[in-house]
Structure 1
Amino acid sequence: MARLPRLYVPGVPNHVIVRGNNRQAIFGSEGDRIFFHRCLAERAPVHGVSIHAYVMMTNHVHLLATGSGSMSISRLMQSIGRRYVGYYNHQHDRTGTLWEGRHKSIPVETDRHLVDCQRYIELNPVRAGIVKHPADYPWSSHRHFAFDKPDTLVTPHELIVTLGYKGERTLAYRSLFEEDLDAETLQKIRSSVQKGWALGSDAFCKQLESLGGRRAQPRRRGPKPVQPALDLDDPNGV
């Protein structure tokens, strides 16, 4: 089955994932992560992208980002890819590709799923068993929101800003991480990313389809036809 083209609509947040080829590491040192962070922080404004949340794992990166144009995020990822791969290959005396094909990206409905998606991203190191709490992992946006640590890469989404004034906001934000996402929400986010569908309501998906020119959710299947019960005494039965 051919991959769906990525669906970018200006002003709509996207959950973006880029992985190492064959799940290989894309960061070999602290310096690699610092350089990748710097690349994103420098190039995101150039391409009209606001990065609301992120996590840099060993072999992949998650971003929650909004582009001002339909090509903003794609151009940012292409720019970062070229610059970082050149740096990484030089630093680690290697050649060839680093990424597992093209990056994945899905639109996220703000009111329903943005906070869940941000929690999903920052809880990644916890689910991976690397740390017990997202605040213990230095390579994500969590400390910026939960403890007001400056981060030049992060532009908070307006929905997060509405959690309250600075002191209130950090306390409210920390409370969001007292437990992991429920299994249904985790599965919904993972399935959407894997299949390339938008993360949102029917109304949100229909709006995206009218603006983006492709389906944003799978077609609904009708009920399966009722099969007659097998006659176990029928010699032609199974």
Structure 2
Amino acid sequence: MSTPKVPWFRGASCHITARGNHRNDIFKDEEDFQYYITLIEEALKYFEYDEYKIICYCLMDNHVHILIKTKDKAPGQFIGRVNAVYAKYFNKKYNYIGHLFQDRYHPEFIKSDEQMLEASRYIHLNPLRANMVEKPQDYQWSSYSMYIGDKKEKLITTKEVLSYFQEGKERELYKKFVESAISIKTAL
């Protein structure tokens, strides 16, 4: 029996999560993380005419978060290509047999501006919540440092999220927005 299709609509933005099977690690070293990012870049070029846009991302040891904006095609073909090629690479490199990913992928469709902001903040704070870093900009496999201007933008499109903040102060205000959730957490 085939897996049912994920519902989708044109122009949708979607927070995609793909988790390792049995919550096992899907990245074991820096080369693995870098290869996955390379696959995202290659998929953006491959599907250039479908106009996918990566809003933000975070690659964790055992799962990935990608906030993607679509135009005319569902995100499944994009993430499916990335994960399938990555699984073949991982299986060969580590002599792994079986499914690398738990499921195809889990989509959460963005229905409001507030949800878009919260999804980006959630994605960028993931390494901090997992106690992997003390500051979100210290995590190498996330787009956060590009959002706040510490690194040059590559792979992502920050325009949509940063447009919610005052022009000229977008990056500074986004950083305050994201990091305000840290102070709330530590105050509890």
Give TM-score scaled by structure 2 length. 0.86
Percentage of matched positions with identical amino acids: 27
2:56 to 50, 53, 78: 53
Aligned pairs for 1:30-41 (under 5 A) are 30-41=30-41
2:127 to 119, 125, 128: 125
Q: Secondary structure at the match of 2:102?
A: coil
1:45 to partner: Cα distance: 4.2
1:4 to partner: Cα distance: 7.7
What do the CA deviations read for 1:79-121 (whole angstroms, capped 9, x no partner)? 1122111111121122221000220002112422111110001
Distance 1:159 1:59 in 2: 26
What do the CA deviations read for 1:49-93 (whole angstroms, capped 9, x no partner)? 11101100000001110111242x100111112211111112112
Q: Which moved more, 1:154-163 or 1:53-62?
A: 154-163
Runs of 4+ in 1 over 4 A off after TM superposition: none
Give TM-score scaled by structure 1 length. 0.69
State how many pairs are aligned. Answer: 179
Aligned to 1:145: 147
Distance 1:33 1:66 in 2: 22
Distance 1:161 1:141 in 2: 17
Larger radius of gyration, structure 1 or 2?
1
Stretches of structure 1 that go unaligned for 5 or more consecutive residues are: 184-238
Stretches of structure 2 that go unaligned for 5 or more consecutive residues are: none
Q: Secondary structure at the match of 2:68?
A: strand
Q: Secondary structure at the match of 2:148?
A: helix
Indicate how the Cα distance of structure 1 residues 70 and 8 shifts in structure 2: closer, same or farther if over 3 A, else same: farther
Measured on the aligned residues, the alpha-carbon RMSD in Å equals 2.1
Aligned pairs for 1:219-234 (under 5 A) are none
Cα contact 1:16–1:65 (8 A) shared by 2: yes
